[in-house]
Amino acid sequence: MYDYLIVGAGLFGNVWAHEATKRGKKCLVVDRRNHIGGNTYCENVEGINVHYYGAHIFHTNDKDIWDYVNSFVEFNRYTNSPVANYYGELYNLPFNMNTFYQMWKVRTPEEAKAKIQEQIEAANIKEPKNLEEQAISLVGTDIYEKLIKSYTEKQWGRKCVDLPAFIIKRLPVRFTFDNNYFNDRYQGIPIGGYNKLNEALLEGIDVRLGVDYFKNRAELDASAKQIVYTGQLDEYFDFKLGYLEYRSLRFEHQTLDTPNHQGNAVVNYTDGETAYTRIIEHKHFEFGTQDKTVITHEYPQEWTPGQEPYYPVNDDKNDKLLREYRKLVDAETNVIFGGRLAEYRYYDMHQVIGSALAKVRKHFGE
């Protein structure tokens, strides 16, 4: 008999399993996929760690979480500095003095601020009614048209004029020559890939892969005193109140017989004609020098039941349904729900680890 059955071998489940085991508990981790790590899983192709479910870049301001992950695997110094390709024009991201020079040939922060302000005033939007108006009121028309509009429409599968303004609360604009996408103090990629982190978390713990919890529910529930569930929230309750909606993604991986395809790990395609949102070149996450390279085209897509759920759609309809499901969660006495799917919320990696550690401490009364 196990103390805990952990459904899902993603970061939340793996951290929980590790911490419970450390406290003398016996855990079984199951996952319907044939690998551990959830969406952080890396596949080794030509000696390159391919981020199989899209780019994962670890970043945090929390020293405790940074020290925690580094206690399992050493992280490199990778800094996320995406490039935007708009019909062949290249721009640095996030929006900073390099971007403004590329856009308008302005050389000083004062000139850049004046240009943006001039466009904001010309648009004269007092109360933004949608995402398009919100973005223009923050950064002006040029940046919106070239770097935000089509990329956002591809991501959401909706026109910007049909998306609510609150999706973009703020758009970070830097008046320095700084291409570091994140403001966090700590950032990097595990040396050897994320599998090393997940393998270290699960060391000495029983793991069963290719096991669908819902097809073996009675047997699995009977094997443990308590359940930690990290799968889709609505699926746990057999979708009885309806489906919570997501945006999904599709990835096309390709091995190329060249050592360097695009010179950067992440290139966003911000025009409206290119169907994919970005190309990832994985070797650059770990400064690879292999003879070949692996690239991934990332396509956003509408989610339908059965597809991989990636981003929760936090609109009024889904928030209302989530509140109803949470009432069912509260009635479950022997199940701990955690992680992005079970909580129906977007988590970065450091946040999901922080959430798991906090729930462990609360559970064990520490």
pLDDT value for 134: 96
Query: pLDDT class for 306, splitting at 50, 70, 90?
Result: confident
Is there a domain that residue 89 lies in?
Answer: no
- Please state, in angstroms and rounded to a whole number, the distance separating the CA atoms of residues 196 and 201: 9
User: 345 and 207 in one domain?
Assistant: yes
Is there a domain that residue 153 lies in?
Answer: yes
Is there a domain that residue 174 lies in?
Answer: no
Q: pTM for this one? A: 0.95
- Please state, in angstroms and rounded to a whole number, the distance separating the CA atoms of residues 300 and 245: 14
User: 149 and 69 in one domain?
Assistant: no
pLDDT digits (tens, 9 = 90+) for 244-275: 999 999 999 999 999 999 999 999 999 999 99
Is there a domain that residue 119 lies in?
Answer: yes
User: 250 and 239 in one domain?
Assistant: no
Active-site residue (options: 33, 158, 247, 345): 247
Active-site residue (options: 78, 86, 153, 174): 174
Q: How many CA atoms lie within 13 A of 300 on its CB side?
A: 17
Residue 316 is a catalytic residue: no
Residue 86 is a catalytic residue: no
User: 343 and 207 in one domain?
Assistant: yes
Q: What is the mean pLDDT of residues 331-358?
A: 97
Of 204, 181, 196, 99, the closest CA to residue 147 belongs to 99
User: 231 and 327 in one domain?
Assistant: yes
User: 339 and 225 in one domain?
Assistant: yes
Residue 110 is a catalytic residue: no
Total domains present in the chain:
3
Active-site residue (options: 234, 245, 281, 298): 298
**Tell me, what DSSP letter sits at residue 245?**
P
Tell me how far CA of residue 137 lies from CA of 92, 125, 133, 151, in angstroms.
21, 6, 6, 18
Parallel, antiparallel or unpaired: strands 224-229 and 2-7: parallel
Residue 174 is a catalytic residue: yes
User: 348 and 201 in one domain?
Assistant: yes
Percent of the chain having pLDDT more than 90?
94
Q: Which amino acid is at 281?
A: E
pLDDT digits (tens, 9 = 90+) for 197-229: 999 999 999 999 999 999 999 999 999 999 999
3 state SS of 151: helix
- Please state, in angstroms and rounded to a whole number, the distance separating the CA atoms of residues 211 and 33: 7
Q: How many CA atoms lie within 13 A of 182 on its CB side?
A: 15
Tell me the two tokens of residue 221.
Answer: 């529930």
Active-site residue (options: 3, 221, 271, 348): 348
User: 6 and 75 in one domain?
Assistant: yes
Active-site residue (options: 127, 170, 238, 291): 170
Is there a domain that residue 251 lies in?
Answer: yes
| Domain boundary residue, one of 275, 302, 329 | 302
User: 318 and 229 in one domain?
Assistant: yes
Residue 278 is a catalytic residue: yes
Is there a domain that residue 214 lies in?
Answer: yes
Alpha-carbon Rg for the chain in angstroms: 22
User: 72 and 27 in one domain?
Assistant: yes
CATH of the domain at 335: 3.40.50.720
The per-residue DSSP string of 276-329 comes to: SSEEEEGGGGGT---SSEEEEEEEEEE--TTSPP-EE--SHHHHHHHHHHHHHH
Domain residue limits at 291: 246-302
116-152 CB burial, b ≥16 within 10 A, e <16 = beebbeeeeeeebeebbbbbbbbbbeebbebbbbbbb
Is there a domain that residue 307 lies in?
Answer: no
| Domain boundary residue, one of 167, 200, 225 | 167
Query: pLDDT class for 31, splitting at 50, 70, 90?
Result: very high
| Domain boundary residue, one of 137, 167, 197 | 167
User: 350 and 220 in one domain?
Assistant: yes
356, 4 contact by CB (below 8 A) = no
How far apart, in Å, do the first and last CA atoms of the chain sit? Answer: 25
Active-site residue (options: 19, 78, 269, 278): 278
**Tell me, what DSSP letter sits at residue 163?**
S
Other Cβ atoms less than 10 A from the Cβ of 3: the count is 15
User: 334 and 193 in one domain?
Assistant: yes
Q: Is the pLDDT of residue 360 over 90?
A: yes
Query: pLDDT class for 172, splitting at 50, 70, 90?
Result: confident
Active-site residue (options: 74, 121, 208, 346): 346
Is there a domain that residue 176 lies in?
Answer: no
